[in-house]
Amino acid sequence: MDLCQIHADRCKGCELCVQFCPKHALEMSEERNAAGYHPAVLAHPELCNGCAMCAQMCPETGIEIYRRQKRARQDAVNQG
Amino acid sequence: MDLCQIHADRCKGCELCVQFCPKHALEMSEERNAAGYHPAVLAHPELCNGCAMCAQMCPETGIEIYRRQKRARQDAVNQG
Amino acid sequence: MTTAMNSQDGMNKQNGGAVASEDLVDLKCVFERPKSLSDKPFHYCPGCSHGTYHRLIAEMIDEFGFMDNTVGICPVGCAVFAYEYFETDMIEASHGRAPAVATGVKRALPDRFVFTYQGDGDLASIGMGEIIHAAARGERITVFFVNNGIFGMTGGQMAPTSLIGQRTTTSVQGRDPRTTGHPIKVCELLSSLEGVAYLARVALTSPKNINTCRKYMRKAIRAQTEDVGLGLVEVLSPCPVQWGMSPGDALHHIEEDVVKEFPPGEFVDKLAGPVKA
Amino acid sequence: MTTAMNSQDGMNKQNGGAVASEDLVDLKCVFERPKSLSDKPFHYCPGCSHGTYHRLIAEMIDEFGFMDNTVGICPVGCAVFAYEYFETDMIEASHGRAPAVATGVKRALPDRFVFTYQGDGDLASIGMGEIIHAAARGERITVFFVNNGIFGMTGGQMAPTSLIGQRTTTSVQGRDPRTTGHPIKVCELLSSLEGVAYLARVALTSPKNINTCRKYMRKAIRAQTEDVGLGLVEVLSPCPVQWGMSPGDALHHIEEDVVKEFPPGEFVDKLAGPVKA
Amino acid sequence: MPAKMQLTKGNEALAMGAIAGGCDCFFGYPITPQNEVPEVLSYELPKRGRVFVQAESEVASINMVYGAAAAGKRAMTSSSSPGVSLMMEGLSYIACAELPCLIVNVMRGGPGLGSITPSQGDYFQACKGGGHGDYHSIVLAPWNVQEMYEFPALAFELADRYRCPAMLLADGVLGAMMEPAEISDDAPPPNVPEKPWATNGRNGRAHKNVVNSLVIDPYGLRDHNLKLQAKYKAMECETRWDTRDVDDAEILVVAYGISARLALSGCKLARKQGIKAGLLRPITLFPFPSKQIAECATNKKRILVVELSAGQMVEDVRLAVNGKVPVDFYGEMGGVIPSPAEVCEKIVEAAR
Amino acid sequence: MPAKMQLTKGNEALAMGAIAGGCDCFFGYPITPQNEVPEVLSYELPKRGRVFVQAESEVASINMVYGAAAAGKRAMTSSSSPGVSLMMEGLSYIACAELPCLIVNVMRGGPGLGSITPSQGDYFQACKGGGHGDYHSIVLAPWNVQEMYEFPALAFELADRYRCPAMLLADGVLGAMMEPAEISDDAPPPNVPEKPWATNGRNGRAHKNVVNSLVIDPYGLRDHNLKLQAKYKAMECETRWDTRDVDDAEILVVAYGISARLALSGCKLARKQGIKAGLLRPITLFPFPSKQIAECATNKKRILVVELSAGQMVEDVRLAVNGKVPVDFYGEMGGVIPSPAEVCEKIVEAAR
Amino acid sequence: MLEETILAGFGGQGVLMMGKLLAQAAMEEGTSATWLPSYGPEMRGGTANCIVVLSDDEIGSPVSEKYDTVVAMNQPSLQKFESKVRPGGTLLINKSIVPIKTSRNDVNTYYVEANDIAESECGTNRSANVVMLGALQSVRQKLKPDSIEKAIAHAFESKGQNVIDANLKAFAAGMNAIDARETATP
Amino acid sequence: MLEETILAGFGGQGVLMMGKLLAQAAMEEGTSATWLPSYGPEMRGGTANCIVVLSDDEIGSPVSEKYDTVVAMNQPSLQKFESKVRPGGTLLINKSIVPIKTSRNDVNTYYVEANDIAESECGTNRSANVVMLGALQSVRQKLKPDSIEKAIAHAFESKGQNVIDANLKAFAAGMNAIDARETATP
Ligand SMILES: Cc1ncc(C[n+]2csc(CCOP(=O)(O)OP(=O)(O)O)c2C)c(N)n1
Ligand SMILES: Cc1ncc(C[n+]2csc(CCOP(=O)(O)OP(=O)(O)O)c2C)c(N)n1
Ligand code: SF4
Ligand code: SF4
Ligand code: SF4
Ligand code: SF4
Ligand code: SF4
Ligand code: SF4
Ligand SMILES: [Mg+2]
Ligand SMILES: [Mg+2]
């Protein structure tokens, strides 16, 4: 699973996530979503490091971020 | 004519003129004016120097002040 | 003898006329009713400074030669009848809205001298929005603001400017900051607004302060006439009746206590620097 | 890699759940929709920060565990539907009066967390009297203030916070200070009021600033919960549509121009000093 | 301590009546002639652990009431004519959001700043719609100090029952006068209905509550309006009125509040002159006792409406009888109170 | 440039009409659905050396109008329902102080925040008294874009003539719709009467002028009110109304503004079904064409009043005919616009 | 019984209190009463007056066109209200400070030296109002002296027994102040 | 003549402009016209529509229950408004971006590839609205083509002759777009 999950149907195509991704992992889609916007997509999942810059900037709260962690240390992020 | 002329009918007996007269020239009258107040009076005209402290403090604009001047130099106060 | 009055500081030069006298000196009237003040006796309580401030305003209108050129706006408050006391054109505004009314007048007639006269309930309670916005817009109006820390007219209720601990008819136990907050200081509050050209506070408690007040008023008027912005002079004024004090004690209370919360002085003076629009 | 998010600064700790994965590591959700934010998609224009600020508020409510204890007050402005977006009890106030409504709620229910959400037209134009007096009384409420320098909802008219020269539908030639005054700076204006416990301004223009915003919001909330006074966080927010800019350009405009007129930072912080009532 | 006969000022009775009626929160801004109301409450409410806030304005007052009422509390404000005018937007919001609360208007002479003397010039504002849109408040008109004391509780009760604002419409005379009235300083707390709709924090509630007056969809707003109208219709059963000597009367005098007292004395004088006059006093001005007036008027020669206004309630009386009985009007304005003799004269004229 | 047919939006026509009507000063606060009014004027007035101020609120707006009107200028404001509610205190002051000015209300769905869709729910507020005390404004109700353009001038003229506020009561449809209308960009300045009472600085005048709404003596205030009432009576000669096909009609439809247009179409549809329906459209809502309606109604079977409200003007129609002709009502609320077919249906029902 | 009275004087002369005592006494007796003060912008200083209506029946209007009794504690009040006395009604005048006589000769007029009596009986003219109340009682007798005494005790309860006693004394003195009817001599 | 039309599409497709051109053309001819936009809180983005009424007579209502013609520039508009066409009325659908057909079979339906025609004729689909207007003209003919052309020239005056020409071309192309009547195939 990708670290960065974009809810395409919430996206309004503002491009802020794309502009703020330090890894240039995101792009705007050619497609239109139900509301008629071109949503952002994780075009280069391999570049994404889950830094959540995109999610922070998304005005629609349309991005979820996941982080990899050892199974044994499931709670580590809480101390991070 | 006195230097300090109190319009007794305007006076409301607040006593501020009396309290602020540096020469203690003023007193409150025993009489009542038409509005029922004890007005201030110039009890000691001889003490009055026309400094206008009383007039400055009178909330009713009930005091007029005159100043003596040589007849020839009528405009002197304007340079005062 | 202290601080003798001199004619530049509030004497009514225009009106001084020679009075015949029997000896070699004339008696010249050096202090009398300003022309812009009507003959009507004030309805204020004994020792109330509303009358004093009225006189000072009238002196200024005379001094600037504005009697024919002025539109004054009265508040709703004890000074609600102020229109009876000035010889200039006058408008009675609704409670708190004098700055908006003045805006209407001044924009309509930019070359008239427009002033408002407002109490602390009027200006600092119900009319807060209007004074702030008139100040922010830099309306060329002059505000004469009477802060007596109380709603005089309606019978002595707490004002936003009442002191902590002050007993009023709506704070019989004394003003409690926990539920009613602290006094609003209008000069301090307005001073961040760029449209304000002149802002000062003075206690109307002595001839000296009255003279200072005149100086401030001149500047507040010039802020308008020189097209700089809004000018406001706040006077700390007694309300002997609602404070339950004699007029003399009320003045002492101001000098002892009120000035601690409301420090007198000039807060903004854009006349001093280069005049800008 | 810059400024990695960490859970204390806005991650949604409570909601993080493990996600099964095929290899030796789990995928843990570290950024998702706060619980206090409803599922309803925002009606805001693309790139509008109203949505961002909503999310931050919801994060805070989650973080403080206040979802069951909150009454939020919405403005009239683009955020008029905010009651649809929060999972807390919500009241729709009339235009500008949210601080008065909040006062009513908070006095009635002193142990609830009460916040208002207000735009600059709402708070700094029509509602000026209400915010000043709520602040002066030291109402224990938290104000989330969105300053986008425009009346967004009604179609882009000038706000008291519009920049000099800014073109709006009621200042098509650009805002002229001679007739409309200078922008009102709410934080500067309120900072003289003693009832204010916390006051800060931040531009919602980058992840870093968003994090700063969270810090400010926490303090503004504590100003209420610790019974110190009113807390307010002003965010400089874009209105891409009414500014006629792309969302990205709008953020740049804030960072380049808006912050010059509205410097970010903390203005009052009575939490830092000894807590006083 | 049980209720006790006390010589009491109308405004003070009103304040104590608000307390007895379970007023949790008062928000108000001073204005003559009702200043005793906030003055008494500023002392009496905090003493009982309830809320008094002197608002910065009437606009703020009504919106504070909106907030406290939304929070589920019995909230009220009190003012006089110009101050009540400033509440019109807020009142329309309250009515639309269906919040129960109490607004007191101790009317004074208008229009404008007018005077502080008694008047009934705000009937239209109270009953027809001073604010925008189709809404109503329950409007109660006391006519003596006892009712000044009792009606706040009644107003709160009706407001809660119908989820609507209630207004108490008095005037400067009723506010300032003293009469013996049975008044309690520690009335038992009234029964207040559950308010499951209140925005008081979810506290375990499965859904959030929202208090709102915005219905952006026209059909939704239409339906909401229909609901409001149905409610106003349903309120008709709350109509209250009072009569004196109407059965054999040939002239029916209709008057409310202080006017009804002038009219009562006027009727008595008229009867001394052999003219059978009776009084019908609307107690609820909304809902208006239209049916009762129409019924009562069937065998009357004429109706005389007496108001301290240029003629406002008279329109509702005319609408009630719909041309079946001629309706005359006698009014004074600006704070002038007609004497019973003057009212009697008008009755005599009507009887001619 | 002479007036020219132009396809124009109602709000824009209103703005240009205000300019043609000699509006010197506009003060207003944005609100939908009338935003084009301040938007156009913010550009067009300063261009002509006149005054546009975006006020901080409606309360400020109406008080700025008060000031500029007192100064002798043609001053106006424009708003929509909730904003107009906030002006009620100021309006009462203006009426009492006898200042001529223009207040525009482009009504939207209420009560409360309601909606931004068209409505006629503020008739009571405009015509009966939204503010306190016995006062009136002249109320004009345009029904097309041409009148949106022409009525501001008429309103100013009448306001000046009677020294009273004039209100232009439109609605969201009239504000938003376009129609061809004869409009001038540079109409010649209207004749404005001398205003010797204006507080514009004495400038040699022997006496000072005072603009005031305070009359503290009850008898003085009574007399002032009597003067106002006499003025309102005198205004009756300004009553304006319009009719379509009323002579042979059996059903008289009474409606104003946008409703009158729906009603006109409804009448036409009804005539197609053989039912003789005619329209009487009050143009001045105050003074209300009571006599004209009563006269017109004499040979009618029934009256149907159509409004976008729960029924407001219908009361004035009922009062006008005083029970002589039955009066039905059809209204929609909340921004719902009934179609001509629906109006026709109601006419058919009435004819049965 | 329907008794309509105006009591008027300077603010500070206690005319409002006089009226309250009457109304309170009426209440003690179970008689209906209304008390209505003049309220106006002349809040401080100036004149004050109140209207008291007593009745066995429900009281309608708290005001009237003409009054059974007018009590004038000072000259402006006399001038303002003497025309309000019903023909055959009663007019009481505080002779101590009212130097003039009434011009009415169709009413029963009594001149009472209320201030002087108060001063000699209680050592202060502040009880002149209660003296006048006594005089009123002696000529109109609509209420029992008892009830008024109770009302006095009730009104001054918080001020202590001394004050109550002084006022009771003033009341008694007032009741004895009028020997013979005097009608106005213009 | 009374012709009631709804024109609907996405905000940005120029449906309000279409309506204005119709109303403007009517005015040129001295025919009465009203144009009423939907206005709502969905100010930005979303759908837009307007109602145009043309008449030889004074126009009463600017809205109706059913319409002579509905022009649907996108799918949501079709779905929202197809029921509003009067039986026997006209329905125009922008086939270029509406993938579905109408379910009405009691109206005259025309599918016009407005975007495609605009793109091929003017190089941009921004003139799709004017193409559609041409198509509307060809099937309803309530106004003279001339008048509409004048209206186009008037509307785009400030944008220069090129834009006017492009739109005139689009209009002409639209007038030729419909060969045969198609009725709906459900
Ligand atoms: C809308 C409105 N609200 C309230 C009032 C009542 N009112 C009259 S004056 C006043 C306050 C006066 O206080 P301030 O402005 O401080 O003047 P002061 O009497 O102390 O000089 C109030 C509340 C009013 N007239 N109008
Ligand atoms: C009493 C009143 N006046 C005016 C309006 C119209 N109105 C709605 S929102 C708004 C301004 C919104 O601006 P802002 O508060 O800055 O919010 P934004 O839309 O920019 O987020 C105005 C003037 C209203 N609804 N009610
Ligand atoms: S999580 Fe970071 S790296 Fe991944 S897409 Fe978002 S911004 Fe880019
Ligand atoms: S920031 Fe959000 S709304 Fe904007 S383009 Fe990215 S996903 Fe879409
Ligand atoms: S003028 Fe000066 S000295 Fe004379 S009485 Fe006045 S204060 Fe005293
Ligand atoms: S200051 Fe004026 S009012 Fe006061 S006592 Fe002296 S003269 Fe009288
Ligand atoms: S009440 Fe106070 S402010 Fe008013 S006149 Fe009296 S002393 Fe002056
Ligand atoms: S108009 Fe501006 S503030 Fe409103 S939603 Fe759009 S971008 Fe945001
Ligand atoms: Mg004050
Ligand atoms: Mg904004």
- The 10s digit of each residue's pLDDT in F185-224 is 999 999 999 999 999 999 999 999 999 999 888 899 999 9
F274: left (phi over 0), alpha (psi -120 to 50) or beta: left
Q: What is the mean pLDDT of chain A?
A: 88
Of H101, H89, H39, the residue nearest H64 (C-alpha): H89
By residue range, what is the domain housing residue D186?
6-11+30-269
The pLDDT, as a whole number, for residue B78 is 43
Distance CA H10, CA H48 (A): 6
Task: Give CA–CA dist D198/D142, Å, rounded.
Answer: 9
Q: How far is CA F347 from CA B44, F252, F274, F282, in A?
A: 93, 9, 11, 19
> Please, what is the Cα angle at E178 between C151 and E33, to 5 degrees?
30
Give me the pLDDT at residue H124, please. 86
Closest Cα of chain B to G182: distance in Å?
29
**Looking at residues F94-120, what average pLDDT do you find?**
97
For the stretch F162-191, pLDDT in tens is 999 999 999 999 999 999 999 999 999 999
Q: Which of E12, E37, E53, E54 to mutate to test the interface with C (most CBs of C within 10 A)?
A: E54
Position H46 scores a pLDDT of 67
Within 13 Å of residue D230, how many CA atoms lie on the same side as its CB? 33
Q: Is D45 in CB contact (< 8 Å) with chain H? A: yes
Give the position, in ligand 8's atom list, of the atom nearest the Cα of D243: 2
Query: Considering CB atoms only, which of E30, E57, E112 is closest to C157?
Result: E30
Helix/strand/coil for E66: helix
Confidence class for position G41, pLDDT limits 50, 70, 90: low
Rounded distance between C-alpha atoms, residue F212 and residue A50, angstroms? 69
D96 Cβ below 6 A of ligand 8: no
Give the residue extent of every domain in chain G: 2-184
The series of mean pLDDT values per 10 residues for chain B, 80 residues long, is: 92 97 96 86 96 98 90 47
Helix H or strand E encompassing A63: strand A63-70
pLDDT band at G178 (very low <50, low <70, confident <90, very high): confident
ipTM of the complex as predicted: 0.96
Stretch F139-161: mean pLDDT: 98
Q: Check if B58 has its Cβ closer than 6 Å to any atom of ligand 5.
A: no
Q: Which residues pair with F328 in a beta bridge?
A: F304
Mutate to test the interface with A, among D1, D2, D3, D5 (most CBs of A within 10 A): D5
CATH class of B4-68: alpha beta
Q: How many CB atoms lie within 10 A of CB B11?
A: 25
In angstroms and rounded to an integer, the radius of gyration of the C-alpha atoms of chain H is 15
d(CA D170, CA F30): 9
Going from the C-alpha of D84 to that of each of D54, D153, G170, the distances in angstroms are: 11, 17, 73
Q: Tell me which chain H residues have a C-beta less than 8 angstroms from the C-beta of A36.
A: 10, 45
* pLDDT for residue F337: 93
CATH number at residue D191: 3.40.50.970
Per residue in G14-28, pLDDT (tens digit) is 999 999 999 999 999
Looking at residue B31, its pLDDT comes to 87
Sheet holding B4-6, edge to edge: B4-6, B63-70, C25-31, C18-19
> Are the CB atoms for C266 and C200 separated by under 8 Å?
yes
Structure tokens at D118: 């207000």
Would an 8 Å CB–CB cutoff place C192 in contact with chain D? yes
Distance from CA of H3 to the nearest CA of F (A): 13
Domain H2-184 grouped into CATH 3.40.920.10? yes
Structure tokens at H184: 């709906």
Residue of G nearest to E145 (CA): G34
| Interface residues of chain F, partner chain D, Cβ below 8 Å | 29-32, 35, 38-39, 42-43, 46, 52-54, 56-58, 82, 112-113
Dump pLDDT digits (tens) for E106-139.
Answer: 999 999 999 999 999 999 999 998 999 999 999 9
Q: Which residue's CA is the closest to the ligand 2 atom numbered 6? A: F31
- Beta pairing partners, G34: G53
Contact D26, D16 (CB under 8 A): no
> Residue F48 corresponds to which amino acid?
R
Query: How far does C227 lie from chain D, in Å, by closest CA?
Result: 10
Q: Measure the CA–CA gap between G177 and H142, rounded to whole angstroms.
A: 104
Contact (Cβ atoms closer than 8 angstroms) between residue B17 and residue B57: yes
Strand order in the sheet with F251-254: F241-244, F277-282, F251-254, F302-307, F327-331
Number of C-beta neighbours around residue D54 at 10 A: 26
Cis bond before residue E287 (omega within 30° of 0)? yes
What pLDDT was estimated at residue B77?
44
What are the distances in angstroms from CA E194 to CA E163, E197, H56? 12, 9, 61
Q: What is the DSSP string of B21-39?
A: -TT--EEE-SS--TTS---
C68/F204 touch (CB, cutoff 8 Å), yes or no: yes
Contact C151 CB / ligand 7 (< 6 Å)? no
- Ordered mean pLDDT values, 10 residues apiece, chain C (277 residues): 35 41 72 97 95 98 98 97 97 98 98 98 98 98 98 96 98 98 98 97 98 98 98 98 97 98 98 55
Q: DSSP states of F125-193 as a string?
A: IIIIISSSSS---EEE---SHHHHHHHHHHHHHHHHHHTSEEEEEEEHHHHH-EEEEEE-SSPPPPP--
Which of D97, D113, D114, D193 would best serve as a mutation to test chain E binding (most E beta carbons within 10 A)?
D97
**Residue C143, both tokens:** 């505000």
> Which atom from ligand 2 is nearest to the alpha carbon of D79?
21
pLDDT of residue G44: 54
Strands D25-31 and G47-55: unpaired
- Over residues F226-255, mean pLDDT: 98
> What confidence tens digit (pLDDT) does each residue in G88-98 have?
999 999 999 99
Contact D122, D77 (CB under 8 A): yes
Q: Is D146 in the pocket of ligand 8 (CB under 6 A)?
A: no
Q: In chain C, positions 102-161, which contact chain F (CB-CB < 8 Å)? A: 102-109, 112-113, 129-130, 133, 137
Summarised one tens digit per residue, pLDDT across range A17-70 is 999 999 999 999 998 887 778 999 999 999 999 999 999 999 999 999 999 877
Establish whether the linkage from the previous residue to F82 is cis, with ω within 30° of 0. no
Q: How far is the CA of A46 from the centre of ligand 3 (A)?
A: 10
Using one digit for the tens of pLDDT, what is the confidence trace for C10-55? 333 344 444 444 456 788 999 999 999 999 999 999 999 999 999 9
pLDDT, averaged across chain F: 97
* Ligand closest to CA A11: 4
Peptide bond into E33 cis (omega under 30): yes
| 3 state SS of F240 | coil
pLDDT in tens, H35-67: 999 876 544 556 789 999 999 999 999 999 999
At C231, list the tokens. Answer: 């000018």
Measured between alpha carbons, how far is D143 from D193 in angstroms, rounded to an integer?
A: 15
* CA dihedral (B78, B80, C4, C9) positive or negative: positive
Q: What is the dihedral of CA A9, A10, A15, A17, to 10 degrees?
A: -110
A24 min Cα distance to partner chain D (Å): 12
Nearest CA-CA distance, residue F16 and chain C, Å:
20
Give domain status of residue D213, yes or no: yes
- Residue extents of the structural domains in chain E: 4-195+209-237, 240-351
Please give the residue of chain G at the shortest CA–CA distance from B12: G45
Q: Ligand 3 pocket check: which of A47, A51, A61, A66 to mutate, most ligand atoms within 8 Å of Cβ?
A: A51
Contact C202, C249 (CB under 8 A): no
H12 in reach of chain D (CB within 8 A) = no
pLDDT, chain C, mean: 91
Do F138 and F286 contact (CB within 8 A), yes or no? yes
- Give chain E's contact residues with C (Cβ, < 8 Å): 29-32, 35, 38-39, 42-43, 46, 52-54, 56-58, 82, 112-113
Smallest CA–CA separation between H136 and chain A, in Å? 26
Q: Quick check: G109 and G182 in contact, CB under 8 A?
A: yes
3-class secondary-structure state, position F106: strand
Decide: B13 in ligand 5 pocket, CB within 6 A.
Answer: no
Q: What pairing do the DSSP bridges indicate for beta strands B40-42 and E101-107?
A: unpaired
Tokens of G1: 């019984």
Answer whether CATH 3.40.50.10860 is correct for domain E240-351.
Answer: no
Write the pLDDT tens digit of every residue in H110-127. Answer: 999 999 999 998 888 889
User: Is the distance from CB of D161 to CB of D236 less than 8 angstroms?
Assistant: no
What confidence tens digit (pLDDT) does each residue in G99-126 have?
Answer: 999 999 999 999 999 999 999 988 888 8
DSSP state of A61: -
The answer to whether residue F32 neighbours chain H at the CB level (below 8 Å) is yes
E strand spans, C148-274: 150-151, 157-158, 196-203, 230-236, 265-269
Does chain F touch chain A (at least 3 C-beta pairs within 8 Å)? no
The CATH fold of domain E4-195+209-237: Rossmann fold (3.40.50)
Local confidence pLDDT in tens for the 277 residues of chain D: 233 333 333 333 344 444 444 456 788 999 999 999 999 999 999 999 999 999 999 999 999 999 999 999 999 999 999 999 999 999 999 999 999 999 999 999 999 999 999 999 999 999 999 999 999 999 999 999 999 999 999 999 999 999 999 999 999 999 999 999 999 999 999 999 999 999 999 999 999 999 999 999 999 999 999 999 999 999 999 999 999 999 999 999 999 999 999 999 999 999 965 444 4
Distance C153 CA to ligand 1 centre (A): 6
Chain B contact for G99 (CB, 8 A cutoff)? no
H helix intervals, H5-144: 15-29, 75-81, 114-122, 128-140
Q: Which of F316, F305, F309 is nearest to F279 (CA)?
A: F305
pLDDT of residue C6: 38
At E347, the pLDDT band (50, 70, 90 cuts) reads very high
Give the model confidence (pLDDT) of G110-166 as tens digits: 999 999 999 998 888 889 999 999 999 999 989 999 999 999 999 999 999 999 999
The region that residue D47 occupies, defined by phi over 0 for left and psi between -120 and 50 for alpha, beta otherwise, is left
| pLDDT per position as a tens digit, E252-285 | 999 999 999 999 999 999 999 999 999 999 999 9
